[in-house]
Amino acid sequence: MTLDDLVELLVGGATLTGATLSRPRATGTDEPPRITVQPVTLKRGKRWAVRRHYGSRTTDENLDDAALGRLLRASIGKNYRQALLHAPDADWQVLAGRGEPRILRKPPTRPRAAGVHDRVKRHVLPEGEPVPFLVELGVQTPDGRVRAQRRSKFRQVNRFVELVDDIVPALPDGPVRVVDFGSGRAYLTFALHDLLTRVHGRKVDILGLDLKADVVSECEALARRLRADGLRFELGDIAAADLVGVDLVVSLHACDTATDAALDRAVRARAEVILAVPCCQHELFGQLENETLRPLLRHGTLKERFVADVTDAARARLLELAGYDVQVVEFVPLEHTPKNVLLRATRTERPGRDRDRLAAEYRAFADALGIEPALERLLGDLVPTGG
């Protein structure tokens, strides 16, 4: 089998689940030490996320099948001496010498297709490498070690960065505008700035909003000490925030219907991506009624847990009806709340027939439980709920 045959088999046949190009032939060139490839699904269809790893930073681009095929054929054997290409039934190792590349078939390590939301877990903030904002915030020592008493915070920040890293390909080209509602001590706001600027080389305009003047002042001073270009903190709330041109809206631990207010504002601003970790879902507790579920609902503790899940399920479906693809993913609980669910929504265009089906399912769900969630009322005629 030749390299052309292999590329046609995996890319042309749509069975490639990932690839890594390594061992560059020459140093001191523009070629990065490593290139990785993953399949992603964007609004315009399936693409290949190509990430070039340059030591302390990376760059990303999304390619179609033809462009990826040209990249692999031009790079493997010529610029890179080794490549590992994954498929569900086999791994293919390509070793380049003086003649034609040698192709070895090996047992598969990725037996099923790995899309953007189920990639192999990685740590974007590896231990042992000092990250300025983590050092300043006392999570790391100056030499990069994670302080024992801050290990849970490090895990939380790293998990957040991993979840955001997944959606970077969905953000538009050019400077990225972000608004973080209720940024608090801003561990995750600084992490977001670090990911987009240091790791991905993007220009940003990130605004952290909070209602506590002393916290805003401390975070703003830290941003200036770190020379964090494009990051600022202001006193403000969800209702008054300027969301013109926003690409990413973040709302973490907004209590009860404050999460719904943040989601409503993000949808109306047509944000490309929304990240929300809700907490304190009390609104539907007094509404929810269902005779069949009475054995569950008669217990306050069980009802409270169930109501939280119902609230997030309703939010996810309403965001879908507003034109977003939504994933409900596990997060590390924040110190403010034991909630460990993050809603991650990416704007898309949904066909009318599919939207009608989703609306009918939502209406049956809400009517069966006797609920009218705040987000349904806020979004109003933006979403067809059949009510």
Alpha helices in the chain (DSSP H): 3-7, 65-75, 132-136, 151-167, 187-194, 213-225, 257-268, 294-297, 300-321, 352-369, 374-379
**Cα–Cα–Cα angle for 63, 190, 237, nearest 5°?**
105
Residue 306 confidence (pLDDT) above 70: yes
User: What's the pLDDT at 336?
Assistant: 46
Whether the model pTM is above 0.75: no
User: What's the pLDDT at 120?
Assistant: 39
CATH tag, 133-382: 3.40.50.150
Confidence band of 338 (pLDDT split at 50, 70, 90): low
Confidence band of 115 (pLDDT split at 50, 70, 90): very low
Structure tokens at 17: 């689940």
Other CB atoms closer than 10 Å to residue 48's CB: what's the count? 23
CA contacts within 13 A on the Cβ side of 334? 22
Confidence band of 218 (pLDDT split at 50, 70, 90): very high
Strand partners, 277: 252
Confidence band of 117 (pLDDT split at 50, 70, 90): very low
Confidence band of 123 (pLDDT split at 50, 70, 90): low
pLDDT in tens, 231-271: 999 998 888 888 999 999 999 877 878 899 999 999 999 99
Residue 164 confidence (pLDDT) above 80: yes
231 secondary structure, DSSP code: E
How are beta strands 176-181 and 204-210 bridged, if at all? parallel
- How far apart CA 243 and CA 246 sit, in angstroms, is 5
Mean pLDDT of 2-20: 89
User: What's the pLDDT at 377?
Assistant: 93
pLDDT in tens, 33-47: 889 998 887 766 788
- How far apart CA 164 and CA 277 sit, in angstroms, is 13
Other CB atoms closer than 10 Å to residue 345's CB: what's the count? 27
- How far apart CA 52 and CA 225 sit, in angstroms, is 30
Listed in sequence order, the residues at least 6 apart from 382 whose beta carbon sits closer than 8 Å to its beta carbon are 267, 268, 322
pLDDT in tens, 74-83: 999 888 989 9
Residue 341 confidence (pLDDT) above 90: no
Helices (H) and strands (E) in the chain, counts: 11, 14
User: What's the pLDDT at 121?
Assistant: 44
Positions of CATH 3.40.50.150 in the chain: 133-382
Mean pLDDT of 375-382: 90
Residue 371 confidence (pLDDT) above 80: yes
